[in-house]
Structure 1
Amino acid sequence: MKRLYPDIGSYASGYVKTADDCELYYEQSGNPDGIPVLYLHGGPGAGLSPNYRRFFDANRYHIIAFEQRGCGRSRPFGSLEGNTTQNTLRDIETLRQKLNIERWVLFGGSWGATLALLAAIKNPQSTLGVIVRGVFLGREEDRKWYLEPCGGGAQLYPEHYEVFVEGIDEPLTVETICQNYQQQFDDKNEAVRLAALKRWYVWEERLSRLYLPPGTGDITTHYPLSLVTCLAKLECHYLLNRCFIEENYILNNIHKIAHIPGAIVHGRYDVICKTEAAWQLHKAWSQSDLHIVSGAGHSTSEGGIALKLCSATRDMSRALQGAL
């Protein structure tokens, strides 16, 4: 009789220790004998959402997820020390070796998509396939799109952008905005610190969906301090440091995974990550399928995005059945 693995939560969780003494929380769920898939959360700094497993058939997939440096249950919380893209890629490899995974599918959205692509490029021999959503390539134009006055968010939501950059002297560039916010995050006055953290968090939330539920994306709404702190500090840190990758690194190296199957899901009206980035990635990656979702923005909470991601994991599992 076939054993069923209903998606009712993790069957194993724990911590993996890095070479520089970080402790990264991870968990496993689904079918232990299924196709290994690594779920990479966004942000940087978002942590694992409670319902991330919904994109995978728990009978077909061995679902693995971890919280990146400084995030969620990983320790030390909110730390910027050693928090770089290169170290996170080493962490991914450390986790793969700890769990004795030979090859896996890499699945990520937004910053998680960046990491999935970088990890595949770094270790194509251990990559079965890649599924990305809300493509962020880490280029200068991608960072400007999110933070500068010429970007999608500032142009479509000028009233919210004014709140986001209030008190910051021109020119409003990625560098000046991030430097100003970092100073506020470190301010001795708690009220200044908390207000800055919340403004940054609300800016991202405001842009994440075309239609926000009541009470979200509102500066007056209460949000968990741990979530606000982690996402604001780490996003600012990575954007200020050009995401710790060379300009146009992903597109310049995508040929290294030309033979690996991929799926790209992107909302047509994503104002956090450029739809152009998804298009350029697809054109450079011959084995990729591109799904631009009409009537959707950036978030997986939008029905069209979630549906396409579920379809992508289903199709990937079918394609890989004969390869395992």
Structure 2
Amino acid sequence: MTRDPSVASDATPPQRSWGGGNPLLDVRGLAHRFVLKDGRSVRALDGVDLTVETGEILGIVGESGCGKSTLGKTLIGVLRADDGTVHFEGTPIHGLARPALRAVRARLQYVYQDAGAALDPRWTIARSLDEALVIHTRLTRPERNARVRETLASVGLREDHLPLYPHEVSGGQQRRVGLARVLALHPKLLILDEPTSGLDVSVQATILKLLLALWQQYHLTLLFISHDLAVVRSVCTRVAVMYLGRIVEMGPTAEIFGNPRHPYTRSLLAAVPVPGGRRVIEEAWLEGEPPNPLAIPSGCRFRNRCPMAAPRCASEDPTPRLLGPAHEAACHFA
């Protein structure tokens, strides 16, 4: 887990200013399996329960391969859900007929990690932005042009970017184009997959400031997938920690960073340096690599790397327990 030096160590997450605590997204028992050529399957998601309230910024963190991106892609239907339910604005979205699903996807959008790869290299920026409006709206051509110019300006790009192709702009500008393309649809929930990865530190800071400004301007709800705990701490209002396809701890950002209860969360935070040589958490417990996802351990899936493991952990799979206001962890000894 790397630290963004541009983010102050004592930064406080933004406060939600709308929504009144209404659930926008409700996920129950969500599962997805990748089937290998030899017939075996990998449980990339294994019973994820999650509720996202209107107006919040929920961070999804964990090691590479824990299922963060798979969760985001399964939520919007890019990957098929093998089990579980997803309700968006009170409506179950998996299994919807194509017209109804298209209407939902206009309000539930995914911003890919590789913004350049998500843009057609043969299309100008103008055509890429216009395409989404053609598919999802009934706006006239002049209305679409006006919407494109308005949205482009909101992400800090000029109109003279419109005739350019993706390879003619920088990586940071490609991220802005990707944001403009989804914001043009006036969505309610954005799933952001590693929105600052691969960018210079100064560009990361600029993108984060832009995201917070857009969050306020458009009254968005954000699902913020990231491996960078320092960024998550400064941006998110709540955090969910994933390990091997499950959420093992979830709670308000200040509580997760100030009082982590799951040993995996404590191990992740122990890897985050802060100025002066100190650490957020002093104990550095995490050793070795995650288990083979084809052979997930019985009981608690973290037990083979946990210094607190007991015989009970091998036989009983821990379920999330409420430890405080909106703070829960799946650990027998939390």
TM-score range, shorter chain: under 0.3
Identify, as 1 or 2, the structure richer in helix.
1
Q: Which structure's CA Rg is the greater one?
A: 2
Identify, as 1 or 2, the structure richer in strand.
2
**What TM-score comes out, normalization by structure 2 length?**
0.25
